[in-house]
Structure 1
Amino acid sequence: MATVQDCRQALDDLAKRLAANAEDARKRINLERTLACRISDLGVAFHGRLADGQLLDVVDGDDPQAKIALTTTSDDLVALVRGELDFARALGARRVSISASPFDLIKLRKLI
């Protein structure tokens, strides 16, 4: 099982990757939304925001009002960010769940 620090690092790595490709990401998904990432096996959460194709201001703690909420296990989060787990397959296998408006789900699909 991955640790809280491993999950935090995975989200930091994802934020850096999106920042490095912000222009391309912005073309594919230009959303301004709050985001919560809930780690079910550790009982922790992180939250931040998607803006201008980037993941910004990621901090510890849940945001119950987040417009987009992703729930997964610690190992699956780390594997997703490393590219070791296909997001669409993980979603289909219910290893990842996303709560968002239908419009946001369509936009997010462009990142997969």
Structure 2
Amino acid sequence: MASVDECRQALQELGARLSANVAEAREKLKLDRTLACRISDLDTAFHGRLLDGQLVELADGDDPNAKIAITTTSDDLVALVRGELNAGQAIATRRISVKANPFDLLKLRSLL
């Protein structure tokens, strides 16, 4: 099981990767939505904002009113960010749950 710090670091790495490819990410994911990432096996969460293809304002704690909510285990989050877990397959097999409105899901799919 990955630690809370490893999960935080994985999300920061994801944010850095999106920032490094901001033009491409902005083109694929042009929206402004609050985001919650809930880690089920650690009973913890992180929240932030997806803003024009970037992950910003990342902080500890849940946002129960987030427009996009992702729930997964610590190991699956780390594997997903490292590219060791295919997001589409993880969603299909319910290793990752994503709750968002249908239009946002279509936009998020472009990043998978």
TM-score range, shorter chain: over 0.9
In structure 1, stretches of 5+ residues that fail to align are: none
Cα deviation for residue 52 of structure 1 reads: 1.7
Aligned residue pairs total: 112
Identity %: 65
Aligned twin of 1:2: 2
Structure 2 alignment gaps of length 5 or more? none
Letter in 1 for 2:73: T
Q: Give the Cα–Cα distance (whole angstroms) in 1 for the partners of residues 27 and 12 of structure 2.
A: 22
Q: How far apart, CA to CA, are the structure 1 residues paired with 2:29 and 2:53?
A: 6
Residue number in structure 2 paired with 1:62:
62
> What is the one-letter code of the residue matched to 1:30?
K
Residue equivalent to 1:93: 93
In the other structure, the counterpart of 2:43 is 43
TM-score (norm 2): 0.99
- Aligned equivalent of 1:77: 77
RMSD of aligned C-alpha atoms? 0.4
Q: Tell me what 2:26 maps to.
A: 26
Q: Distance in 1 between matches of 2:53 and 2:22?
A: 5
Shift of 1:69: 0.2
SS of the counterpart of 1:36? strand
